Amino acid sequence: MYKHILVPLDGSRAGALALRHARELALKFGSKVSLVRVVSPSRVATAGLASPESLAAAEIMFSEAQREDAANLSLAKAYLAKHRRALETAGVKEAATHGEVGDAAAVILAYAKKRKADLIVMTTRGRSGIARAFLGSVADGLVRSAVAPVLVIKRQD
C-alpha cells in the first residue's frame, strides 16, 4: 500500500513516536523510509547597516551564521544516520536520510514531492490558538499542502 514513507524529525523525543509508527508501517508494507531533518537557519541581523564598517561587521556575522548552520546540519545528519541504522536493524529494507538548512515545511514538501513519498508520518507539538497562529505549524502546513496523506501523531507529554 505504501511504497515510500517520509518521516520529518525535529530532534525531539516526540519524533521517536512518529518513527515507531513509520517503522511498523514500513515492516508491514515493505516500504522505503526517508528520514528528514530540517535545521532552521541562523538569523543575521542586518537592519540599519549603511557604513562600510557596519557592512564589514555584517559579513563577519553572516560568516559566523554559516559556520553555525554547517555545525547544526552536521549534528542533524549524525542524528538521522543513527535512526536510519536503527530502522535497518529492525528489518526495514531501505532507509534514507536527508538533512538541509531552511524552512521546515517548504523543505519537507519539496522532498516529499521530488522523492514521490506516498505517506508522511510526523508528530505535532500540539500548539493551539494564538501560539499556533503566530508561530505557524509545520504539521498544519504539510496537511494543507502535501501531495501525499499525512499521518499526524499527537505527542504524548
Question: What are 30-76's pLDDT values in tens digits?
Answer: 999 999 999 988 876 544 555 556 666 667 777 888 889 999 999 99
Which of 111, 86, 95, 112 shows the shortest CA–CA distance to 26? 95
What's the CA gap between 52 and 67, in Å, rounded? Answer: 23
CATH number at 145 reads 3.40.50.620
Model pTM? Answer: 0.82
Per the domain annotation, does 69 fall within a domain?
A: no
Contact at 8 Å (CB) between 32 and 96?
yes
The helix/strand/coil state of 13 is helix
Q: pLDDT for 10-26, tens place per residue? A: 888 878 889 999 999 99
| Dihedral sign for Cα atoms in the order 66, 77, 33, 151 | negative
Mean of the per-residue pLDDT values of the chain: 85
Give the domain range for residue 97.
4-41+78-154
Q: Is residue 54 part of a domain?
A: no
The span from the CA of 12 to the CA of 18, in Å, is: 11
Look at residue 73 and tell me if it is in a domain: no
Identify how many contiguous H helices and E strands the chain contains and give both numbers.
Answer: 5, 5
CA distance 73 to 69: 6
Cα gap 129→85, rounded to integer Å: 38
Q: Does residue 10 lie in a domain region?
A: yes
CB neighbour list of residue 143: distance below 8 Å, 6 or more residues apart? 150, 152
Name the domain count of the chain.
1
What number is the average pLDDT over the span 131-140?
59
CA separation for the pair 143, 157 (Å, rounded): 22
